[in-house]
Structure formats: structure tokens, C-alpha cells
Structure 1
Amino acid sequence: MQTTATTLLYRPVNQTELDLIAQSGYKRFPPRLQDQPIFYPVMNEGYAIQITREWNVPAYGVGYVTRFAVDSAYLQKFTVQNVGDQRHDELWIPAEELEEFNDHIIGRIEVTHTFKNQ
């Protein structure tokens, strides 16, 4: 039995995005909006939590951290982008490639944390 090597990635999402993920059976991320040219999953949960707490919750009142596995060989085509300190690593997936990216998700997208305005 051959198994595919996977990489765990994280993505902060708002309620609307989570609802669309749920509609896909927790298998796919929704298409990007017109003004969103990239999809950026992050490389560690701590960074996803930081984004959720600092940006999603203030903007939307609630935020979720999702975790999902992607075929590691497929991810090699993307360069890790560092956008701050050493834990601020993310991948930049062009919006037009998101469907192909979704095809390489192994298993389900799961919610690991929920944060709300208090």
C-alpha cells in the first residue's frame, strides 16, 4: 500500500467561508473574491491563530482556524513566503489555481479553533 506524503497547512476563515467549506463536505475552499488575487494558507497553527484573533474576529465578530493536509509533492511548485517574523510563513496560491490546489487536499478540512468577540 502506497501512501502519499502530506503537509499540514492552516487557514484562518470567517463564517461565510466556513459555510462554503461545509457545503463542499469540508473538502474544498471557496473561490477567491474579485479583489483577492491569491489564496494564502499558512504553514503553522500559531500564525493562523494570530491572524484569526487580530484580523478576522475584529472584522467579522468570529473567526475559525482550519487545518488540512495537502499532497507534499504538489506543494513543491510553490515558494514559501515569509511576511514578518520567523513564524509568518505562508504559501501564495494564485486565485486561478485554487481549484487545482483543492484537488490536492487529502482528507477533510477541519476546524481546530473558534474565536469570537467577547
Structure 2
Amino acid sequence: MSRVVATTTLWRPTGPEELALVEASGWAAWPPRLPEQPIFYPVLNEDYAIRIARDWNVPASGVGYVTRFEVEADYLARYPVQQAGGRTILELWVPAEDLQEFNQHIVGPIEVVHEFRPQA
């Protein structure tokens, strides 16, 4: 009998390069951070992820994606929720050195739920 694990839904706005690496993992893991990226920032609010993908990723990369994924809730308890602005601007700050372990606690696939491109 399999055990049921409580999960928390997270979102991550991303550009095409990072998304290609997620796809290469079989939609199972986030790639290692670059040296200038000491923290991995998943967000707790879909609307916030949409704003970042649309307003930041599209101008920077020509396309922005919002991904959704589930992570074991007990594992996430080690990362306090960070309020990065208004009351709905909520993130987790996962140190780059924790990302491989973080990936082991993802439950199910990482899914693309929104795609944004420049307005014609």
C-alpha cells in the first residue's frame, strides 16, 4: 500500500533556456543554478508567477512560461515563506546547494501552465 504524501503547489516563472533543461530532465527536476544565482525562487502564488513570466521573462527572452509543480509539504517546512513585496508576493528561497535535494522531493511532473509572448 502506497503512502499518501501531503504536497504544496509551487509555481516558477521561467524562460526558454531553463525550461529546456527541465524538459531534458523528463519534467522531473530544476537545473543547477548558475554561479551568479545563489538562490532558487519558487513562488506560492500563480498570479505572481504570471506577472513575472509576462513582464520580465518575455522582454528578456522573447517568451515566458509559468510552471506548476508539487513538493512534499514536510520538506518545504524548512524554508520560511518570504514576502518579497505586497502580501501576495510570496516566495521560497532555496539555496543553490539545496536544489538537488529539493528536486528529490518534487512529487509528479513539472507542468507548463501558461505561455506568454510579445503582443503583436
Aligned length: 118
CA RMSD in angstroms, aligned pairs only: 0.6
Q: CA deviation at 1:54?
A: 1.2
**Quick one: which amino acid aligns to residue 93 of structure 2?**
W
Q: For residue 14 of structure 1, what is the aligned residue in structure 2?
A: 15
Identity of paired residues, percent? 58
Q: For residue 78 of structure 2, what is the aligned residue in structure 1?
A: 77
Q: For residue 52 of structure 1, what is the aligned residue in structure 2?
A: 53
Once residues 59 and 14 of structure 1 are traced to their aligned partners in structure 2, the CA distance between those partners, rounded to angstroms, is 8
The reply on whether 1:64 has 2:69 as its aligned counterpart is no
The reply on whether 1:28 has 2:29 as its aligned counterpart is yes
TM-score, length of structure 1 as denominator length: 0.98
**Quick one: which amino acid aligns to residue 110 of structure 2?**
I
Q: CA deviation at 1:53?
A: 1.0
Q: For residue 38 of structure 1, what is the aligned residue in structure 2?
A: 39
**Quick one: which amino acid aligns to residue 41 of structure 2?**
Y
Q: For residue 116 of structure 1, what is the aligned residue in structure 2?
A: 117
Structure 2 unaligned blocks of 5 or more = none
Structure 1 unaligned blocks of 5 or more = none
Once residues 40 and 98 of structure 1 are traced to their aligned partners in structure 2, the CA distance between those partners, rounded to angstroms, is 10
Post-superposition, which runs of at least 4 consecutive aligned residues in structure 1 deviate over 6 A? Answer: none
Q: CA deviation at 1:102?
A: 0.3
Once residues 95 and 117 of structure 1 are traced to their aligned partners in structure 2, the CA distance between those partners, rounded to angstroms, is 31
Once residues 3 and 46 of structure 1 are traced to their aligned partners in structure 2, the CA distance between those partners, rounded to angstroms, is 28
Q: CA deviation at 1:63?
A: 0.5
**Quick one: which amino acid aligns to residue 86 of structure 2?**
D
Once residues 53 and 14 of structure 1 are traced to their aligned partners in structure 2, the CA distance between those partners, rounded to angstroms, is 10
